[in-house]
Structure 1
């Protein structure tokens, strides 16, 4: 039984979705970043945190990679060309999509007010749109890697919801179709319904 710590409106959602896809049992402690339950396991206060037999793992992508490798699902095997391509697109999504949204969030409500640069958001929105177009050009099928859903799909679909909440543009038709397809999965729907 896994333990997941973090509120689902954060990257914690990715880990919960992964566990639902894997059909693995878990306990969920929905606490915000910097809660004492988080900081005792992760000094940065960031969520999510996964506990597996008492061992803490931090960072959503590291957690998902660990779970995918451990359970042999939602990933290509380590040491294969397919895994190298999967890791490449994972890093593309993290660097070009997730990082842009994280920067926008930091300058909207996370950084101290005197450190925020409100004028940066239009530039980030432009960059996000351009980067979504680039990611969609690399898509190999109904999922980023082709016929099989993998880790970067969870990250990208989560980012799509994050972008919508942050009022970022959603003008790439292929991305709209992709989001509808990925978010229609039963594991996503079960999790989303449970959060309503």
Structure 2
């Protein structure tokens, strides 16, 4: 059984959601970043942490990729063109969506108050909106980013869009709003959200 460390109001949600989708048993330890229960496994104090057979794995994307590869779900096989496209979308979302939201969070409540620059959030909102337009041109017509089935980047995008709403970053593309509504209706999303 896996152990997932981290609060569900963080990137930990991505891992909980994927485990629910995969139908894998896990124990959830809702610990805050930089708390003792986190730092013992990740000196940076960041969540999530996945413990598998006594070995900690950090970074939500690394965990998602590991679980998807290990259980053969929500991913394409390594070394295929579909996997290259999947990985490209993953990197794009991390660079353009996740990074903007994380930088805004850092300047809202993570950094010491004297280090925060509130004006940067206007630039980040603009970049976030521009990135949505770029993403729309990169995805196909299916219900998910890669077509008929969700893959690792779907877990990242849906989480980022939900995070954006909480951070008051507008979702400017109606197609992405509709996408998020579909993702939130998935039973596994709802089970993860209940935690």
Structure 2 residues not aligned, in runs of 5+: none
Bigger drift between 173-182 and 47-56 goes to: 173-182
**1:100-132 per-position Cα deviation (integer Å, ceiling 9, x unaligned):** 000000001000111111111111101101101
The within-5 A match list for 1:68-83 is 68-83=68-83
Q: How many pairs are equivalent?
A: 194
Matches of 1:83 and 1:63 in 2, distance apart?
16
Structure 1 residues not aligned, in runs of 5+: none
**Aligned position for 1:48:** 48
**Aligned position for 2:175:** 174
**1:30-56 per-position Cα deviation (integer Å, ceiling 9, x unaligned):** 010011111011010000000001010
Shift of 1:72: 0.3
**Aligned position for 1:152:** 153
TM-score for the superposition, normalised by structure 2 = 0.98
Matches of 2:165 and 2:87 in 1, distance apart?
25
Shift of 1:133: 1.5
**Aligned position for 2:185:** 184
Shift of 1:174: 0.7
Question: Contact 2:132/2:172 (CA < 8 Å) preserved in 1?
Answer: no
**1:35-86 per-position Cα deviation (integer Å, ceiling 9, x unaligned):** 1111011010000000001010000000000000000000000011100000
**1:167-187 per-position Cα deviation (integer Å, ceiling 9, x unaligned):** 111221111111111221110
Please give the root-mean-square deviation of Cα atoms over the aligned residues, in Å: 0.8
Q: In structure 2, the residue corresponding to 1:51 is in which secondary structure?
A: strand
Matches of 2:139 and 2:21 in 1, distance apart?
21
